[in-house]
């Protein structure tokens, strides 16, 4: 049975109220996986999701890990002659601070101008829920469908997937599939379909410089003791050379260069005016010798994601703080090994830190970059579904961002792997006022619906 | 009438319970002048103090300013033939964070090992309250004393004294005096009397670097936009040269050099082992070519008192923050004009900031350094009182810290000005677990008592 767009649309329209009631319920869970204060909400969110998966007809279970549980479900009626599709999502979200910059509370979804505003509205609850809604519709409308579907929804995408990784090692056999769709990616602009053919890896770490036991008075001690804030800014400033390249020795050793031909497959346009209008950007850090997209897609970067030392609140506090901290991450490209890059960074920081001061460094997590192949049949199938929904030719992207678990998932499942989705770069994911368009929610639903239909092989 | 130490001691002992009950009440007010959240507590503290001053016999009033009120009181029975002593204190205290490092709550005074722990226990409520207690005792015991006493207690010492400065401009005539004692200083070690003959000035400012309108995802945007954290550490790192000197052009232009003879008057010993034991210090920033005390007493410094950008809390947040902020202060030495130094710093930061990024700088406050003269008769009088109480020869210090209003107070009062007190450098002022010894509280009481007695000129 083939499910055409009008049938999917009709189902969506007649279930609209229920769909959005459930979607907003999902958004209301404060599932900030990285913050222990949200532990209970994160678990409640997992339990709620499990229940919904069962309700729509999946056999599903919650697998405990060292951190947040993995939800795994399957609906396999296709037998050995039909291919198996594995879907990936995550139910954890990023922290919400600075809270004061949110127009409406992050866990009270609010619709303004056709967009739903909430933490996770796009990343990844929005994209997860249009997938679940499409599964729901598909299983209701195509009852007799012979299809093999599996889904994994993890709770640690934003915090390194340590427990999920363990789950893959122990229960990886469950995930065996032909195709894997990681629906956590985006499109270059509204209405333009796109498949992400690769994504950068990540390595994140924390460095703390400590000197005195406690904060000291900057008059009584200024001129005597080394201020950890000063030590930290001087140390971190050395991470880049005068050209703006990462100055850590051997940082770029394994980075592959791309030919013009290779790059020609990908969407590489960058509209600076549009970028400035969207993000208010004023200053750039594009790697010398590369275009903005090249610098973002195929070059590794290093960012200070957080820095804190002493008192930076209202008023003024004349202290020399006891310690200063920096949270640092790198985006990695294919062939860069997170462990090796971490070692090189640690070596550099230790060598360059001022004499005597305590430097402690700890790794959060690392995941290599991932690259898909144009040869996999799933590429054409997905492109066709996208093109039917949006009426435009599909484009191909590389992602500057990372989905840390994808490499391990591809390996465990043995599946040809693609990242797709309906994110836009100004959805404010990881930032205040995250939002997702209700139009894109519906387009996502239709696209996944068409992919599921195509998999039955009878359209 | 002369009030000898035994008589003062007897009064102290017989009033001990009442003294400490009142002192702890004073400490319980959360008079964090710099933080608007503590506004009501700061005002309540001022009202309570005014009441106590009246109770012990002073004519006193509260003078409103643009920020926190000034308390001024006087007790003048000496007529024109007796000299006038002006005393200076402040009732505002520093902020208390990081709160989690306090062993007992900062506004619940707690005695452990002979020390009272509370925000303000030393700076300046402890020193203020032994002075008030000495005034109380003196006025009870020496009823017929012909003496001219004035006291000013401000509420903005920790936040720039803007309102107090305005008060001095408008009501400065009230403060006319022969001697001014600023009792907010310290001794080099327990049991060693010391007079501070000078203190460094201060200049404090805030610099903010902003780029995008909101925080951005460090994968999606990394390699394109300049991270304000990176811009900030690179900018701030330029503030010092390779020798560790402040690299701002003309920063040292007006700094006076001292002869060995001039320096020989001052306590210049520095016991590195003791310093390390006390503060846990591991790394130093002593100016090249100077001893630790010289670097702290007679050389200007620049410190980053606070730095903040992005997310540095539990877990990890992969953002490129919209802005990063630094709170910076300089300690200034005689002949350095805070306004000129501020201009030079602003010029440097603007010239060195990366192209395109928004840099906004604002000044908190500035106050020049202050130096006393050995020729003033009050020097001998105070030294004698100190020596009687502690039984050791008085030493002379320079202060690395600043009491911003002292220069203006000296000018308004026309008085010979000294800074004295019983602070120790490990009292944790401006830091968690601030404390003050009950032994030093009593010594302070006796010292002020003997000074008051000496001023009657009849001992």
Q: In terms of Cα–Cα distance, which of A360, A405, A457 is closest to A152?
A: A405
Token pair for B97: 């964070």
Interface check A292 vs B, CB under 8 A:
yes
The ipTM estimated for the assembled molecules is 0.85
**Is the CB of A316 less than 8 angstroms away from the CB of B364?**
yes
pLDDT at B198: 93
**Is the CB of B225 less than 8 angstroms away from the CB of A285?**
yes
Q: How far apart are CA B332 and CA B338, in angstroms?
A: 7
pLDDT at B459: 42
Q: What is the pLDDT of residues B242-261, one digit of tens each?
A: 889 999 999 999 999 999 98
The CA angle B338-B342-B348, to the nearest 5 degrees, is 150
**Is the CB of A281 less than 8 angstroms away from the CB of B212?**
yes
Q: What is the mean pLDDT of residues B185-190?
A: 94
Instruction: Give the CA-trace dihedral at B97, B99, B102, B103, to 10 degrees.
Output: 170
pLDDT at B278: 93
Q: How confident is the model at residue A430 (pLDDT cuts 50, 70, 90)?
A: confident
Q: What is the pLDDT of residues B120-141, one digit of tens each?
A: 999 999 999 999 999 999 999 9
Strand A416-420 relative to strand A179-183, pairing: parallel
From residue A113, how far is each of A438, A439, A458, B231 by CA, in Å? 10, 11, 39, 35
Among A186, A208, A223, the residue to mutate for chain B (most B Cβ within 10 A): A223
Q: What is the pLDDT of residues A117-126, one digit of tens each?
A: 999 999 999 9
pLDDT at A205: 97
Q: What is the pLDDT of residues A84-116, one digit of tens each?
A: 999 999 999 999 988 999 999 999 999 999 999
pLDDT at B425: 86
Are B232 and A233 in contact by the 8 Å Cβ rule? The answer is yes
pLDDT at A457: 67
> Is the Cα torsion angle A339, A345, A349, A351 positive or negative in sign?
positive
Question: Which residue do the tokens 């804190």 mark?
Answer: A308
Token pair for A227: 């201020």
Strands (E), B323-444: 323-332, 358-367, 370-371, 395-399, 416-420, 435-437
Q: How far apart are CA A212 and CA A226, in angstroms?
A: 9
Question: Which residue do the tokens 């395109």 mark?
Answer: B356
Q: Which residue of A has its CA nearest to B230?
A: A304
Q: How confident is the model at residue A305 (pLDDT cuts 50, 70, 90)?
A: very high
Q: How confident is the model at residue B181 (pLDDT cuts 50, 70, 90)?
A: very high
pLDDT at B213: 93
Among A159-163, B214-218, B396-400, the range scoring the smallest mean pLDDT is A159-163
Picking from A314, A320, A429, the nearest residue to B35 by CB comes out as A314
Among B95, B101, B106, B307, the residue to mutate for chain A (most A Cβ within 10 A): B307
Indicate whether B454 pLDDT > 70: yes
Claim: this prediction has a pTM higher than 0.80:
yes
Environment class of residue B87 by beta-carbon count within 10 Å: exposed (0-12), middle (13-18) or buried (19+)? buried
Environment class of residue A279 by beta-carbon count within 10 Å: exposed (0-12), middle (13-18) or buried (19+)? buried
From the CA of A293, how many Å to the nearest CA of chain B? 8
Which B residues in the span 231-250 are in contact with A, Cβ-Cβ below 8 Å?
A: 231-234, 236-238, 240
Picking from A214, A311, A431, the nearest residue to B327 by CB comes out as A311
pLDDT at A227: 98
pLDDT at B225: 97
Q: How confident is the model at residue A144 (pLDDT cuts 50, 70, 90)?
A: confident
Which B residues in the span 34-53 are in contact with A, Cβ-Cβ below 8 Å?
A: 34-36
**Is the CB of B402 less than 8 angstroms away from the CB of A219?**
yes
Interface check A288 vs B, CB under 8 A:
no
pLDDT at A456: 80
Q: What is the pLDDT of residues A435-455, one digit of tens each?
A: 999 999 999 999 999 999 998
Percent of chain B with pLDDT over 90: 88
> Is the Cα torsion angle B237, B241, B246, B249 positive or negative in sign?
negative
Q: What is the pLDDT of residues B285-310, one digit of tens each?
A: 999 999 999 999 999 999 999 999 99
Among B35, B223, B247, B308, the residue to mutate for chain A (most A Cβ within 10 A): B223
**Helix or strand or coil: residue B253?**
coil
Are B48 and B29 in contact by the 8 Å Cβ rule? The answer is yes
Among B160, B162, B213, B222, the residue to mutate for chain A (most A Cβ within 10 A): B222
pLDDT at B403: 87
Q: How confident is the model at residue B265 (pLDDT cuts 50, 70, 90)?
A: confident
Selected residue with higher pLDDT from B323 and A459 = B323
Token pair for A196: 């992400």
**Helix or strand or coil: residue B224?**
coil
pLDDT at B159: 83
Among A109-113, A256-260, B14-18, B412-416, the range scoring the smallest mean pLDDT is A256-260
Q: Which residues of A touch B204 (CB under 8 A)?
A: 316, 318
Question: Which residue do the tokens 């690179």 mark?
Answer: B234
Interface check B317 vs A, CB under 8 A:
yes
pLDDT at B160: 79
> Is the Cα torsion angle B140, B144, B145, B146 positive or negative in sign?
positive
Q: What is the pLDDT of residues B161-178, one digit of tens each?
A: 889 999 999 999 999 999
Average pLDDT of the residues of chain A: 95
**Is the CB of B317 less than 8 angstroms away from the CB of A215?**
no
Q: How confident is the model at residue A315 (pLDDT cuts 50, 70, 90)?
A: confident
pLDDT at B457: 67
Q: Which residues pair with A304 in a beta bridge?
A: A328
Percent of chain B with pLDDT over 70: 99
Q: How confident is the model at residue A459 (pLDDT cuts 50, 70, 90)?
A: very low
Interface check B355 vs A, CB under 8 A:
yes
Q: What is the pLDDT of residues A197-221, one digit of tens each?
A: 999 999 999 999 999 999 999 999 9
């Amino acid at each position: 049975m083939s499910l055409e767009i009008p049938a999917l649309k009709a189902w969506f329209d007649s279930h609209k109220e229920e769909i959005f009631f459930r979607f907003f319920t999902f958004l209301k869970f404060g599932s900030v996986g990285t913050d222990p204060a949200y532990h209970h909400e994160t678990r409640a969110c997992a339990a709620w999701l499990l229940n919904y998966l069962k309700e729509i007809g999946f056999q599903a279970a919650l697998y405990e890990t060292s951190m947040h549980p993995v939800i795994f479900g399957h609906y396999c009626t296709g037998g050995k002659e039909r291919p198996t599709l594995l879907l990936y999502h995550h139910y954890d979200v990023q922290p919400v601070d600075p809270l004061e910059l949110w127009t409406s509370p992050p866990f009270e979804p609010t619709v303004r101008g056709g967009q739903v505003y909430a933490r996770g509205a796009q990343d990844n609850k929005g994209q997860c829920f249009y997938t679940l809604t499409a599964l729901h519709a598909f299983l209701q409308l195509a009852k007799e469908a012979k299809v093999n579907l599996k889904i994994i929804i993890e709770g640690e995408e934003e915090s390194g997937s340590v427990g999920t990784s363990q789950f893959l090692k122990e229960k990886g056999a469950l995930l065996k599939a032909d195709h894997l769709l990681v629906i956590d990616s985006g499109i270059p602009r509204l209405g333009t379909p796109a498949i992400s053919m690769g994504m950068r890896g990540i390595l994140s770490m924390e460095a703390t410089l400590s000197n005195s036991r406690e904060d000291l008075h900057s008059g009584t001690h200024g001129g005597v003791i080394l201020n950890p804030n000063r030590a930290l800014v001087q140390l971190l400033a050395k991470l880049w050379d005068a050209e703006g390249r990462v100055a850590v020795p051997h940082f770029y050793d394994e980075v592959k260069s791309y030919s013009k031909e290779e790059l020609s497959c990908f969407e590489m346009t960058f509209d600076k005016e549009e970028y400035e209008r969207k993000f208010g950007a004023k200053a750039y850090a594009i790697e010398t010798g590369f275009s903005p997209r090249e610098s973002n897609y195929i070059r590794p970067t290093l960012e200070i994601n957080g820095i804190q030392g002493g008192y930076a609140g209202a008023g003024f506090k004349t202290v020399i703080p006891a310690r200063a901290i920096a949270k640092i991450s790198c985006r990695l490209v294919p062939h860069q090994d997170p462990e090796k890059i971490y070692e090189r960074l640690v070596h550099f920081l230790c060598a360059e830190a001022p004499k005597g001061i305590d430097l402690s460094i700890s790794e959060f997590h690392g995941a290599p970059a991932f690259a898909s192949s144009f040869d996999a049949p799933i590429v054409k199938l997905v492109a066709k579904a996208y093109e039917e929904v949006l009426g435009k030719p599909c484009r191909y992207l590389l992602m500057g961002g990372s989905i840390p678990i994808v490499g391990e998932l591809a390996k465990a499942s043995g599946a040809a792997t693609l990242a797709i989705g309906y994110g836009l770069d100004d959805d404010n994911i990881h930032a205040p006022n995250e939002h997702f368009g209700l139009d894109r929610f519906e387009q996502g639903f239709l696209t996944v619906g068409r992919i599921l239909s195509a998999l039955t092989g009878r359209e």
